[in-house]
A and B are shown apart, each in its own frame.
Chain A
Amino acid sequence: MSTTILSTRGLTKTYGDGESLVRAVDGVDLDVAAGETVAVMGPSGCGKSTLLHLVGGLDRPTAGEIHLAGRRVDQLTERTLARLRRTDVGFVFQAFHLMDELTVVENVELPALLAGRSPRAARARATELLRRVGLAAKAAALPTALSGGQRQRVAVARALSNEPVLVLADEPTGNLDSAATLDVLRLFEELHEAGQTLVIVTHDERIAATADRLISMRDGAFVDETRLTGGTSGRLGALAELEG
């Protein structure tokens, strides 16, 4: 039996009231096991980004519970929540959110510095992470000198800075071309193999297809769940119309 890293019960976020009440997230029960990669898919406005923000403590739920690594986190004070965001959760965004005036390695070490690590330890960790995402040679470059795919890999390295129990990604390939998407998918796969727990919201079918579990979301609620693990069928030939 694997450990549950993330668990929500009746998670709800509403905006407005009366006639104009919007249920952005509507009673979501989600359990994510340690080491699992879960993709949440759905059309724009289905509530998947709001869900991610709630889970990551970027936003507060209207109702329901969130448990992260065995600890209830939806009622924490703003200060404790801020610390949790820095140390327990790593975020990857569609628009990368790198600081353009800092070098690549400075971006990656920033969360470790903010969490109170020594500059030396933070730099060592950042250098190791950049090596891991294949960008050791770009440590001293500014983000603006990198391609979109490289920037997203820097953002992933930064998300891992404090060894978070959970990495949350919001449309991580939304701004990337085919080749860069492949790079990011490979990186996620490596994280997955290293045991990292990942929750990715996306409308990119390629991410969805490579996750362990795919959840479809509509109007704030989960409507379908598919487990896609398993071996290959050896039917790639048929897909390229070599056969049949």
Chain B
Amino acid sequence: MQQEVVLALLAKEPSHGYQLRARLRQALGPVGEAMNAGQVYVVLTRLEKAGLVTTESPAPATAKDTADRKTYALTAKGQHRVAEWLTEVSWPKPDLAEFHLKLVAAAAAGLADPLSIVDTQRRELLRRLREAQRAAMAEPDGSDAALLLEGIVLRLQADLRWLEACERSWTTRRSAP
């Protein structure tokens, strides 16, 4: 899992590890089922070492279950990393879950407008589709490359349609009180 996803979920407020896990489960539903319960803690430990999060333990810490009792919070460096990540365009690595969580986290923490993230992504995909489509149009009929280009075009189209669904959904959520 992307470290930034966990970071962004902390942007709203400091949380316990199990709360982060619950939020991920809620955002991902059955897609997140394969996720190992310990994964979040592995990521959190890494983030702590990298100076992106700090922890607070209730004193006195007991040997057992400390991971679950700790509260994790973003450092200034962590805040900065989240802001960076939200504006990054991650296609063509088609990590749909990461993009989805980016929108969820951005909205929850009020860090960025999900619709403007969708818009940036859409423009980027359209530029790529333009490139692939122009290349396809320049190929003679029946060339091997034309078939590959068709695959690229169809995938980009599917991605663009999903972005449209994202746009619709987040527009509705925004206009809801």
Residues of A within 8 A of B (CB): 43, 178-179, 182, 185-186, 189, 205-206, 208-210, 214, 224, 226, 228, 230, 232-233, 235-236, 238-241, 244
Contacts and interface: CB of A to CB of B under 8 A. Distances in A.
B95 to A, nearest CB: 12
A241 B92 contact: yes
B134 A206 contact: no
B133 A209 contact: yes
B131 A232 contact: yes
A182 B136 contact: yes
Interface of B is mostly: helix
Contacts, number: 65
Contacts of A236: 131-132, 135, 149, 152
Nearest to A186: B137
Interface of B: 92-93, 119, 123, 126-137, 141, 148-154, 156-157, 160-161, 164, 168
Given A178-B150, A182-B137, A239-B156, A206 B129 contact: yes
B126 A209 contact: yes
A228 B135 CA distance: 15
B2 to A, nearest CB: 15
B126 A208 contact: yes
A206 B153 contact: yes
Contacts of A226: 123, 126
Given A236-B135, A238-B92, A240-B148, A209 B119 contact: no
